[in-house]
Amino acid sequence: MSRIAARFAELKQAGRGALIPFVEAWDPDQATSMALLRGMPEAGADLIEIGVPFTDPMADGPTIQAAGKRALKAGATLARTLAMVGEFRREDSATPVILMGYLNPILSYGERRFCRDAAEIGVDGLIIVDLPSEEAGLLAGDAEQNGLDIIRLVAPTTDDARLPKVLNGSSGFVYYVSITGITGTRSASSEALAAAIPRVRRVTDLPIAIGFGVRSPEQAADAVRTADAAVVASALIETLAASLDEAGRARPDTVARVLEQVSSLAEGVRRARR
Amino acid sequence: MNKPIPNSLRNGPDGRGRFGEFGGRFVAETLMPLILEVEQAYLAARRDPAFQPELDRYLADYVGRPSPLWFAERLTRHLGGAKIYFKREELNHTGAHKINSCLGQILLARRMGKTRIIAETGAGQHGVAAATVCALFGLPCTVYMGATDVERQNPNVFRMKLLGAEVKPVTSGAATLKDAMNEALRDWVANVADTYYLIGTVAGPHPYPMMVRDFQSVIGEEARAQLHEVEGRLPDVAVACIGGGSNAMGLFHPFLDDQAVRLIGVEAAGRGLDTHEHAASLSRGRPGVLHGNRTYLLQDEDGQIQEAHSISAGLDYPGIGPEHSWLHEIGRVEYVAATDEEALAAFQLCTRTEGIIPALEPAHALAHVTKIAPGMPRDSILLMNLCGRGDKDIFTVAEHLGVKL
């Protein structure tokens, strides 16, 4: 069983949903993002999403754009993101790690080589924002061969006729983009989520994570009441960004402040009755 | 529109929006249903016998088509070789070829029931054309424009505002065309229900490269007929500048199956192809995915997109339309480059010999014409797309010539 499937099975047993915090690789530097990654499981992360910096993140709002910019300035690359996962895996072999990013760095690395290297180093799943199901064939074979889950995005614009097509060939879990918009801008209402998630459930047995606009412990709790996991990204990056000094460097309390927020999000998720 | 002739180079793209391995629809799932809707609506419009006549009426009475074909006699004598003809797209209403596609697309947006238009712009020519058709159809228009370009293309910014458009300066990245396109895509994702994205070039996700090409092909169709009338034959060479590549595709496409016609696209070499300051995606880039399509891109070894540079804001783009990438790979079109300096020289030459102030974009095409025309026989014919007028560029040119206005 894959790490992702195993983790969701455990959580089902425990009767609770998952918290999936996000960390942008190398934001604002390697050491800080590595410390965040290392500290997340203890702070209550059930799975972790690592953002792969890209110059043109077309689905991201200002917060993640700025994170990517800081990371690239610090020297982030796809290979260096993989190296972080390798370092993480020396201490943690259970927490699933998902890379989220855009297609071009992967094409540049080479699809086949990337899937092999990523799986070997301990990556469990991929979320590629600009790879819709129509184009997924580009990576599907190599990902499957290496046991990497391709996590598909479903949006409010994905209608019932289209859903099965989008979810065909997906694995790991389904990522429900809760708003029509970019990251870190607005949030969906609980009512909207309560209407949307059953629509997706009818088409898949995979766990469903809700992302885009999940910011507070209450919203995270809301998300896992209807779905199986909550992804929190921009809210954590805002905390990180606010902790930086004038030159954009991490301060001594940067890591602690972000992890503290992960803890309170985790509490929210754990308190949520299902 | 394309007739399905076997072995024709004009049959692309395939059902998945591919020209060979280029093109496609690499967008977020949120946009995907909308992209498919645009495609369906466009195909339906093409089948609707009322659509093209309505567009033709606007092109004739509003834009002033057909644009003239001008024999540049003094320039021809000056260069001493091939007979040079200009396809005068700069005489179109709004001063460039961009209006051709804007009219086609706004008719489509209206068919789709969209009530708000967004666009990206580099030099501002597409922004002005988009703002113009929005004024004509009474639709609100938001134009994304890199902050750097807002500065160097101030006259066009004012024009757009006069036309009632909201111009949003984009400060991310190098604050040029690529970043404006990112921001327009972000707007679209957030406003899928009512908004139509009016893309200015033959790039972006399918069906845009095909659709913009179809709307711009009127340039080549007309030029072909006009040349036939005055010379009784096809040109030997056709030349056009390339940023995203819409004016070049419009000129080239109707000649693709005429193997005797040499087609040459001129990219911006900026400060030189061997510097890092140019916009020559085909000469110096490699295939990748950006803005919804697979094409040649300027990128580093990690697949991060590099900033382009050109004196001309309209060519300052690190990518190129996917059909050009395909035509490059199969060798049907030659792609060369001209530097900022060469374009400036051609700009002045055109102004003084023909009394036409060209935009800096087609000045790149003209720079190449000045290189090849002298070596061609006097009875040969060289057709160049003069795709925009240079009024917008006089401040930039003055600055480079050290003149204070």
Give start and end residues of each alpha helix (H) in A122-215: 137-145, 163-167, 190-201
Q: How confident is the model at residue B173 (pLDDT cuts 50, 70, 90)?
A: confident
B4 pLDDT band, cuts 50/70/90, is low
Mean pLDDT of A4-26: 97
Is A188 an 8 Å CB contact of chain B? no
Q: Would the pLDDT of B174 be above 90?
A: no
Here the tokens at position B29 are 């799932």
Say what the pTM is.
0.96
* B69-71 and B83-87 strand pairing: antiparallel
Confidence band, pLDDT 50/70/90 cuts, at residue A274: low
| Residue B131 phi, psi (nearest 5) | -60, -35
Contacts of A104 in chain B (CB under 8 A): 288-290, 297, 299, 303-305
User: Distances in Å between the alpha carbon of B64 and those of A61, B47, B97, B198, B392?
Assistant: 42, 25, 11, 21, 20
Cα–Cα–Cα angle for A204, A155, B195, rounded to 5 degrees: 155
Give the gap in angstroms from C-alpha A156 to the nearest C-alpha of chain B: 7
- The rounded mean pLDDT for chain A is 96
Would you call B25 and A152 a contact, using CB atoms and an 8 Å cutoff?
no
Contact with chain B for residue A5, Cβ under 8 A: no
Judging contacts by C-beta atoms under 8 Å, the chain B residues touching residue A102 are: 289
- Give the ipTM of the model, two decimals please: 0.95
Which of these is catalytic: A24, A27, A60, A222?
A60
CA dist A115 and A125 (Å) reads 10
Mean pLDDT rounded to a whole number for chain B: 96
The yes-or-no verdict on residue B1 having pLDDT over 70 is no
| Strand-pair partners of B168 | B144
Residues of B with CB under 8 A from a CB of A: 16, 24-34, 172-173, 178, 182, 185-186, 189-193, 287-292, 297, 299, 301-305
Please report the domains of chain A, with CATH numbers, ordered by start residue: 3-271 (3.20.20.70)
For position B313, what pLDDT does the model report? 86
Task: State pLDDT tens for residues B284-335.
Answer: 999 999 999 999 999 999 999 999 999 998 898 999 999 999 999 999 999 9
A56-65 tens-digit pLDDT: 999 999 999 9
Q: How far apart are CA B175 and CA B150, in angstroms?
A: 9
What is the C-alpha to C-alpha distance for residues A130 and B3, in angstroms, rounded to an integer?
32
The proportion of chain B whose per-residue pLDDT surpasses 90, expressed as a percent, equals 92
Which residue do the tokens 């009322």 mark?
Answer: B50
Distance, in Å, from the CA atom of B68 to the CA atom of B389, rounded to the nearest integer, reads 14
